[in-house]
Chains A and B, each alone.
Chain A
């Protein structure tokens, strides 16, 4: 295959799996742009912030930072806290992003929740170039988000569609990826630890503070259970009974 054909084949394989994100990001992006506009920031701000930050929930938080008193240290700590989950994404993608050349910095830059979960779980056809595939997944998500935010910023307070609930498309996507992962794996300990610990931490610490405690507890349990989990995984790969 020549280069153009390789690139096009990767685009054709990547686009379909990003369609749910197209729906979700257009909706959330427009909501974000409108919110920015109503907060006194025009489409230009929405465009640059969605382009450069590309982390949905953090961008909503950033608007409140911009409207408050000037507090750089507070902004730094809050951002690190809200986005700490990306550390787990990075550790999970060390192998998958290897060998992707000049695309690697962009893949890491664009590793939002949705790009991570799609690239992490996608079964890429053998004839399709992995690097280009993951590049297009990330780029398309990025384009949807920036387009949505900019349109929202331009429309401002003129939009009045009742699309409440469309944001559930993201939850549905994560549930689907969770189920796919579950069906692919023979050992379910880690998946159950992830759900169980997160629920308990959410109840104990509340919606705004549970992520970091949940990450630490997940890390601790996975570390303590390493011997057992490694043994089980190897046994499962060989097809032996546990």
Chain B
């Protein structure tokens, strides 16, 4: 078991490493200097791909081979997406999808 000061060290390292991943792009490309064309291009196309990555990241722990085989997740994601295309109401899509998911995993 670590001592309290060692635990504080570990937390400090986690904080600093997390901040490094958040601050690095801003430090490398400060607003005062022109940002390279390639980075400007990435800044434009990356958001769409990154949100896609985030969708999959939030679903990464579903197991298609066992349990419910990811069926509650797939149905709920499809309902959220369909409802949002149809009604374009963020609250409605999120609330209906989440309640549906909570019901499905209890069946």
Interface size on A, residues (CB 8 A): 90
Scan residues 200-237 of chain A and give those whose CB is less than 8 A from a CB of chain B.
Answer: 202, 207, 210-211, 214-215, 218-219, 222-223, 226, 229-230, 233
**A195 to B51 alpha-carbon distance, docked (Å):** 8
Scan residues 36-67 of chain B and give those whose CB is less than 8 A from a CB of chain A.
Answer: 38-39, 41-61
By a CB distance below 8 angstroms, the chain A residues around B19 are 109
By a CB distance below 8 angstroms, the chain B residues around A95 are 43
Scan residues 145-190 of chain A and give those whose CB is less than 8 A from a CB of chain B.
Answer: 163-166, 168-183, 185, 188-190
**A65 to B8 alpha-carbon distance, docked (Å):** 11
16 further contact pairs, Cβ within 8 A, besides A65-B14, A175-B81, A190-B47: A53-B11, A80-B21, A83-B17, A87-B25, A108-B22, A109-B19, A121-B51, A165-B105, A165-B106, A175-B80, A178-B52, A181-B51, A193-B49, A199-B56, A218-B53, A226-B38
Query: Does A38 interact with chain B (Cβ within 8 Å)?
Result: no
**A210 to B54 alpha-carbon distance, docked (Å):** 12
* A119 CB, min distance to chain B CBs, angstroms: 11
A89 with B50, Cβ < 8 A, contacts A83-B21, A169-B94, A175-B80 known: yes
